[in-house]
Amino acid sequence: MIFSSTKSRRPRLRSTPFPPEWLEILHRRFPLLACLPPEDQRELEGLIQVFLAEKQFEGCDGLVITDEIRVVIAAQACLLLHRDTDYYPDLKSILVYPSTYFSRVTEEDEEQQAAFAGQSWQHGPVILATEER
C-alpha cells in the first residue's frame, strides 16, 4: 500500500529541476535518451527522480554506489514506466554487484554454483551486476 504522503510527494519530486550532473550521466551512459522526444525526456527525468527518492541501492562485494550507478539503473527501470505508474511498489531495494556474481542453484536435485548478471523476484529485491566505466 502506498501512503498518501508518498503520493503527494511525487508531483513535487517530478517537478524539481533535474540535476545537471545526472543529465550529463544520462547523455554519456544512456544513449536512448537522445532518441526520445523532449516531452518524453522530461517525463523520464521526473520518473527517475521519484524512483531514486523511493528505492534503496546497496553495493555488494565492496561496490560503492555512485550517482552514476543509481541514475543509469533508474533510467533503465523508468523507461518501462509511463504517466500513471506506481513505481514498482513491491520493490524496495536494488542490490548491485561490481561484476557477474555467483549464486547457488539447485537443478535436478543437485546444488551448484551459477554465474548471474541479475535476478529479480516478484516481492523481493532486484539484484544486478554492473561493469563500471
Which ranges in 55-93 belong to alpha helices (H)? 67-78
Displacement of CA 106 from its chain's centroid (Å): 28
- The reported pLDDT for the residue numbered 1 is 45
pLDDT tens for 64-108 read 999 999 999 999 999 888 666 778 888 889 999 998 888 877 777
- The reported pLDDT for the residue numbered 64 is 96
pLDDT at 133 over 70: no
Distance separating alpha carbons of residues 82 and 76, to the nearest angstrom: 13
- The reported pLDDT for the residue numbered 42 is 94
Distance separating alpha carbons of residues 32 and 40, to the nearest angstrom: 11
pLDDT tens for 36-47 read 999 999 999 999
> Minimal CA–CA distance to 6: which of 86, 125, 78, 70?
86
- Average pLDDT, integer, range 49-57: 95
Place of cell 551512459: 29
Domains of the chain plus CATH, in order, are: 4-129 (1.10.472.150)
- The reported pLDDT for the residue numbered 83 is 62
Maximal CA-CA distance, the chain = 53
pLDDT at 49 over 90: yes
